[in-house]
Structure 1
Amino acid sequence: MPFTALLGQLRQWQQQAAQLRIRLPVVWQGSAKTLLSQTAVLLSTIDYNKLYWLGAEAPADAINLTGRQNYQLLGSECDILVINACSGFNADLVAASAGCVKAGGIWLLLCPPFAQWPQHANPAHKNLLPYPLDANSHQGHFIGFWLNQLQQQNVVIVNNNTVQQHLCWPSAADAVGGPNQSNAVPPCISAEQASAVDAILHVVSGHRRRPLVLTADRGRGKSAALGIAAAQLAQTGKQIILTAPSPQAAQTAIQHFQQLTDAQRHSYLQFEPFDQLLQHDLSADLLLVDEAAAIPTPVLQQLLHKFSRIVFATTEHGYEGTGRGFQLRFQQYLNSQCPGWKKLHLLQPIRYQVADPLEQLSFNCFLLRHQSADINLAHQDKVSFAIYHSQHWLTDPAKLQQVFSLLSLAHYQTQVKDLAAMLDNPKLQVAVLQQNEQILACALISTEGQIDPELATQIYHGERRVQGHLLAQSLAFHLALPELATLALWRVMRISVQPALQRQQLGNQLLSHIKQAAQQAGIRYLGTSFGVTGPLLQFWQQAGYVAVRLGSSSDKASAEYSILMLHAVTASAAIAHQLQQQFSAALYNNLALLYPQLSAELAVALACPTQLITLSDTELKQLQLFSRGKRPFELVSHLLLSWFNLHYRRLPPTLQQTLCALLWQRRSWPDILQHTGQHSKKSCLEWIAAQLSANGL
């Protein structure tokens, strides 16, 4: 086909896509120079308002999505999105940006010929590769895998100027009932969105403690519904707080709110980070939580108790957060705490029709279409253990779909870049427990260490940092043991168990198998790093891991402190034990200074007093008098600290944690009162005294 004829065909298809309210996905193979030249001609013949561009050689009028501002643009729209994959293919950004293309728009992928592309290096994935791999020369497996998926999709495929695959056009009937032709009253675009706004308003006017959960796949207008409802509430003088995993995640709701309200009323909607909401006593007529699945469940539970009128909006298909894990865990908690809660699910896309081929391409090629089948454990059948490496996924994509679904479902930070890393990073492996071809549990493991001694010393001195060796680097720099960075290490990055099969020891079984595999591979230490909670700490301790470091600031995504834990495999356990003792002692000395907001439960579990002082009979009598209300706290606080350091392990959890917060962390009295539920310092001290008396003082 002559080039001019191809241009005419593409323009005709774009007009047809606009009539059907779909996006037109086109994959164009060829040499980079020719493709860029022909794309420039194509763009000069098409009317568009906004052009997004991924990759090199972006034209002057394009918005180039290669900087750190990328995810701030995801709530916006474009007429054309061009992906120049000839010099690199950023899988995470390609997946995330697909939602920007509006109906009638073109999604254009420029790439080398399919037969050659898998043999190319992919510099766009340089952040996924560990030292010393070079992204400019390393040949991974993601492109080959993705191409296999792509060729099964409904997409136009052009090789040079020849159309090799035509689009299978959806029925025109599917476009008739679209949101642009609905009876929705502006500013709502669809009837479903209008129902969502009404449901949000009812949370404010209806009974207290009847939260609403608003769920949808991307592009269904749930965030916009939050902003529209907030604008209507602001007109009646209501105060609304909006929180989300990040300020960027809240931008769509804020933009819709501000477009619908006068500047004088913009203060009626305030964005607050969720950690600030938990630390401060803020009040509002309504709390809106956007992308709730990307916020840890314990945080959502605390917000639920602090605010009596609350709306949780979230994506369930997994790209933005925990997917079905939110549905299984947090919604179960809602059942027990707020039996009158409501759920509304939005199905109708706002920007395009249901049968949109680009959305199907995105779901299928990036494995975002999660399996919903419930998995049961057949106790009579064998449970087997296996380890998969990057090259295995090319021949078993169904297994990879299971693994990625489970990781997305169970962990709020799983993204498409994790899928790309599993295929491109040869130092990543996946350990699984499976039964009857079904994945029961899986763990993502990073092979680290074996760093040259000279480089390890440079890391120890703070002169170098290397990518992909978190465990080795922490041992060398933070724990001042560069020699450990030269050893063979495995770091368990994530571990996930099917939600329906949790509490059946499958996680422990998987870690036990991983240790055996590590022994056979000559690995010296196993390690892990995660946002610590009480249950997670106990889980890893039961598996033999010991805490050796705690980050000095809480994680922005989880509001939890990051802990590093170590488990000796073929190395001596003495070093790990020594590191654990040093850590516990240092944590005790720094609790008040560095970790005042660490939960008392974790402080008691992790810290250990360094100097134990035995009290004299006279000093014990002073404490006994305090327990009977005959001595002021200020007179005996130093004695109580010495006594608590000796006996804290045998005390009931509530008293143990209260004294930890008071004596170890030196928290303020308002914090202490909030923790104990007491109304005054006097009543709290009386309660402490009574508890001490009841526990043998």
Structure 2
Amino acid sequence: MIAALARDAKREAEATNERRVLVFAGDRDRGLDAAYAAVEAIAGDRRESEERKGGDRNGDERNGDTRESVSVVSTREGFRFEEHRPRNADDLLGRTREAVVLDCHEQFVPNAVGRCVGAVDGGGLLVLLTPDLDAWPAVRDRFDDSLAVPPYGIDDVTGRFRERFVATLRSHPGIAIASLGADGPADDAVERDGLVGSRGETTAEPAARPTAPPNATFPAAAYEACLTADQVRAVRAFEALATPGTAVVAEADRGRGKSSAAGIAAGALALGGADVLVTAPAFRNAAEVFARAGALIEGNEHAGEGGESYPERDARHLDAPSGGRVRYLAPAEAADLPGDPDAVIVDEAAALPVRLLERFLDAPAVAFCTTVHGYEGAGRGFSIRFKERLRASPFSVRDVRLDEPIRYARNDPVEAWASRALLLDARPAVEEAVAGSAVGEATYRTLAPDDLLADEALLREAFGLLVAAHYRTEPNDLARLLDAPNLAARALVAEGRVVAVALLAREGGLDAETRRGMYEGERVRGNMVPDVLTSQLRDEAAAEPRGVRTVRIATHHALRGEEFGTRLLEEVHEEFGGETDGDAVDYFSVGYGATPRLLRFWRRAGYRTVHLSTSRNDASGEYSAIMLRPGGEDGPGSALLGRHAAAFRDRERDGLSDAHRDVDPGVVVGALRACSAPTTVDLTEIEWRSVVGASYGPGMYDSAPGAFRDLAVAALIDGEGGSETSDGDALDDREKRLLVRKVLQGHPSESVADELGYVSTGACMRALGDAYEPLVERYGTDFALEERERFIND
């Protein structure tokens, strides 16, 4: 039965150049046997077909022994084929296989499903080994354990994601399900054969390889390496990168050959002598770019095909005979454009923050390649905000979109199934449905997991907003939304449509033993803010108060700037912080990549800075801020904020000249402005003489740098009398940046003058003295004011 099921699925998949899924549900050992039987069956079928045709399998991976093109993703030893652990399923990115076996028994990881689906070639099979489908939602495994963040246990984790996943397996075409009997093959039963049947399509002969378009500037081999007309158009568009001042935007769904086209173009540019810098969220995302670039540079005739058909080489650096090269750097490093590249290719651009993408606009020529739908990241920040910024830049922009699948037919049912099961194509409500909504008329509601499971449209709109708001939303996050006991979702709904959504995590409330372990170096999952305050900032009591952290917050792009995010936070604060609620939390928190705009937003929502990370995030290139808002005026949350705000104030006085020396001055100003710690300026008479002398007379800043730092920190924290909403004070923006760069971060006067646009170093230092005049007025003692009078009267 198993062999026949596998053969039928494989034959139909090959006939239509589509993919099929085989589900072997039941005992794991029986599932392993079934997977072996299925692979042996399709291998035998292939050998018989080749013998009839007299084919030669030598030298062609796709026509080799099926065992050699099978990947197994498993938590245990048990297969003699290529094996990967679920956490290493990323190894399959950029690689294709005739069959992939995914063992879902000990650890069912949604992200691994996405990677495995993407690795199956047209005509291939994805084999899932699962528990009995009816019982599976109640099964708890190692992935569930990762969702059971303290103080919750694994019994608190639900099985809604699996329940929904099983429903998609049983309803989508192209998925065969075999229930494996506990007593052996005699009890096996085929629940569905997964055959789609004829849909009026015929299998065409493979199209002739494309040729170079007229007047193409890339070598003919670049176009001969393309597999579709879409790829030819994309490679032709990339020719523009040889001209400074040009930007290319290439967009496609997964599996359309976007990265391959970018790689072919990179290789062609390098052959022409260009230095091409490639970046992506991680090197694995750019592996296909380097595979295709390397194949073209080395003259490999299989430059456009999947598989590893190129020689061993430095995976992240390719040298062309012409002197050109293709090299990879991580995003934060690549954004500095080291080595002055001639062109930059940013792959999976939607998975990077807009602020980081903007830094690549300093390149001579740049291409942004992105997946429209997929687990790599499809944030609307790229398609809405960044593309507007790109079109406002001096670049001449060329757009190209790839629609034709490379490795399987356009109507592949497995692609449709994966998109629904993992919500790879989730998106917010259409703009026309929400445009004009008034914030005051929106309804605040709980997005209970059971409601999301029961209402597919509600789930897609809510999750679509989360995908749109953040560059790292992935299938695992869908499982967390539906099953994690520490997470809660809240939304604003207008005209029946989700217009704003917040994903919240309960943190803290941990017992003394757990807190002690955290303090001594143990990691506790899911408690991000308590963990940082305890392990890094050495506060053993920080994990005792209970908090709610905003993990993600998103407003529909058509309604940004209309206060929906502010209204949603106000509702969250009222619900979780109500004094009459016995379950009220002690504080609210948030952690995010700090920018001046975001710091301003959270400060105005009542949040105060307690920490700024000492290193940049590898993907975003930003320093992360942690901010707290007490749940009440007096209580554990207020005390927690009080001691950490004061510690942040004191830490930054000296830390800005050390770990935070390269933080953007706008971020420093925003972080200090959002610090609630009281400020005191306690200078000696000698220090006041130096400050007053440098401000009003012939004194020098270097005579008392500590005094100038104390005044700068106080001024930036206090703003205009400590106002909660106003940014206005006696210092303008350039003066604030001057205080940060010169006084707090200790940069040389020459570089500060150049950065801030002063005509000379002398003018910069005179401006520094001028900036301290209002600070003397504000913080000066009677002695300081009397000292000032000496210079004013003169």
Same fold flag (TM > 0.5): yes
- Quote the residue 1:335 is aligned against: 391
1:252 paired to 2:288: yes
- Quote the residue 2:325 is aligned against: 268
1:54 paired to 2:73: yes
Matches within 5 A, 1:216-615: 216-262=252-298, 264-265=319-320, 268-279=325-336, 281-304=338-361, 306-338=362-394, 340-371=396-427, 373-374=430-431, 375-379=434-438, 382-462=441-521, 464-518=522-576, 519=578, 520=581, 521-570=583-632, 571-572=634-635, 573-607=638-672, 611-613=681-683
Residues 623 and 639, structure 1, Cα contact 8 Å, conserved in 2: no
Deviation at 1:58, TM superposition (A): 5.2
- Quote the residue 2:778 is aligned against: none
Larger displacement relative to structure 2 (659-668 or 429-438) = 659-668
Residues 172 and 417, structure 2, Cα contact 8 Å, conserved in 1: yes
Is the alpha carbon distance of 1:308 and 1:38 closer, same or farther for their aligned partners in structure 2, counting shifts above 3 Å?
same
Is the alpha carbon distance of 1:605 and 1:132 closer, same or farther for their aligned partners in structure 2, counting shifts above 3 Å?
closer
1:458-510 CA distance string (max 9 Å, x none): 32233x33212222333333344433422322111111111111111111111
Matches within 5 A, 1:613-628: 613=683, 616=688, 620-624=692-696
Is the alpha carbon distance of 1:596 and 1:690 closer, same or farther for their aligned partners in structure 2, counting shifts above 3 Å?
closer
Counterpart-to-counterpart distance in 1, 2:771 and 2:609: 33
Deviation at 1:385, TM superposition (A): 1.0
- Quote the residue 1:195 is aligned against: 233
Larger displacement relative to structure 2 (348-357 or 50-59) = 50-59
Select the residue among 3, 9, 20 that pairs with 1:24. 20
Is the alpha carbon distance of 1:689 and 1:123 closer, same or farther for their aligned partners in structure 2, counting shifts above 3 Å?
same
1:273-325 CA distance string (max 9 Å, x none): 22223446531221111111111111111211x21211011112152124333
Deviation at 1:113, TM superposition (A): 2.8
Give the secondary structure class of the aligned counterpart of 1:75. Answer: coil
- Quote the residue 2:104 is aligned against: 85
- Quote the residue 1:39 is aligned against: 35
Larger displacement relative to structure 2 (382-391 or 308-317) = 382-391
Matches within 5 A, 1:68-79: 68-79=87-98
1:663 paired to 2:720: no
Give the secondary structure class of the aligned counterpart of 2:541. Answer: helix
1:488-534 CA distance string (max 9 Å, x none): 22111111111111111111111111111112331111111111111
Residues 242 and 272, structure 1, Cα contact 8 Å, conserved in 2: yes
Question: Counterpart amino acid of 1:666?
Answer: G
- Quote the residue 2:172 is aligned against: 153
Question: Counterpart amino acid of 2:532?
Answer: S
1:596-623 CA distance string (max 9 Å, x none): 1211112223348875537656763444
Is the alpha carbon distance of 1:353 and 1:683 closer, same or farther for their aligned partners in structure 2, counting shifts above 3 Å?
same
Counterpart-to-counterpart distance in 2, 1:236 and 1:146: 49
Give the secondary structure class of the aligned counterpart of 1:467. Answer: coil
1:665-686 CA distance string (max 9 Å, x none): 12356753663256xxx72442
Percentage of matched positions with identical amino acids: 25
Counterpart-to-counterpart distance in 2, 1:17 and 1:336: 46
Question: Counterpart amino acid of 2:149?
Answer: P
Question: Counterpart amino acid of 2:430?
Answer: A
1:683 paired to 2:760: yes
- Quote the residue 2:196 is aligned against: 168
Residues 53 and 62, structure 1, Cα contact 8 Å, conserved in 2: yes
Residues 210 and 232, structure 2, Cα contact 8 Å, conserved in 1: no
Structure 2: 5+ residue runs without aligned partners?
Answer: 44-65, 179-187, 213-222, 299-317, 720-729, 775-794
Counterpart-to-counterpart distance in 1, 2:524 and 2:710: 44
Deviation at 1:84, TM superposition (A): 2.1
Please give the TM-score of this superposition, normalised by the length of structure 1.
0.90
Is the alpha carbon distance of 1:429 and 1:322 closer, same or farther for their aligned partners in structure 2, counting shifts above 3 Å?
same
Is the alpha carbon distance of 1:37 and 1:694 closer, same or farther for their aligned partners in structure 2, counting shifts above 3 Å?
closer
1:361-407 CA distance string (max 9 Å, x none): 11011112234621324339831111233333322232121111111
Give the secondary structure class of the aligned counterpart of 1:483. Answer: coil
Residues 319 and 408, structure 1, Cα contact 8 Å, conserved in 2: no
Counterpart-to-counterpart distance in 2, 1:417 and 1:347: 27
Select the residue among 4, 11, 14 that pairs with 1:15. 11
Give the secondary structure class of the aligned counterpart of 1:393. Answer: helix
Counterpart-to-counterpart distance in 1, 2:7 and 2:402: 32
Counterpart-to-counterpart distance in 1, 2:442 and 2:738: 44
- Quote the residue 1:140 is aligned against: 159
Give the secondary structure class of the aligned counterpart of 1:211. Answer: strand
Counterpart-to-counterpart distance in 2, 1:17 and 1:295: 36
Is the alpha carbon distance of 1:620 and 1:127 closer, same or farther for their aligned partners in structure 2, counting shifts above 3 Å?
same
Counterpart-to-counterpart distance in 1, 2:652 and 2:342: 40
Give the secondary structure class of the aligned counterpart of 2:614. Answer: strand
Deviation at 1:457, TM superposition (A): 2.7
Is the alpha carbon distance of 1:595 and 1:149 closer, same or farther for their aligned partners in structure 2, counting shifts above 3 Å?
same
Is the alpha carbon distance of 1:529 and 1:619 closer, same or farther for their aligned partners in structure 2, counting shifts above 3 Å?
closer
Give the secondary structure class of the aligned counterpart of 1:341. Answer: strand
Give the secondary structure class of the aligned counterpart of 2:533. Answer: helix
Matches within 5 A, 1:206-221: 208-221=244-257
Counterpart-to-counterpart distance in 1, 2:241 and 2:102: 43
Is the alpha carbon distance of 1:543 and 1:157 closer, same or farther for their aligned partners in structure 2, counting shifts above 3 Å?
same
Please give the TM-score of this superposition, normalised by the length of structure 2.
0.80
Question: Counterpart amino acid of 1:292?
Answer: A
- Quote the residue 2:145 is aligned against: 126
1:406-455 CA distance string (max 9 Å, x none): 11111001111100111221221101111222111111111122211232
- Quote the residue 1:652 is aligned against: 732
RMSD: 2.9
Question: Counterpart amino acid of 1:550?
Answer: L
Residues 29 and 158, structure 1, Cα contact 8 Å, conserved in 2: yes
Question: Counterpart amino acid of 1:477?
Answer: S
Give the secondary structure class of the aligned counterpart of 2:236. Answer: helix
Is the alpha carbon distance of 1:229 and 1:10 closer, same or farther for their aligned partners in structure 2, counting shifts above 3 Å?
same
Counterpart-to-counterpart distance in 2, 1:178 and 1:507: 52
Question: Counterpart amino acid of 1:8?
Answer: A
Is the alpha carbon distance of 1:217 and 1:674 closer, same or farther for their aligned partners in structure 2, counting shifts above 3 Å?
farther
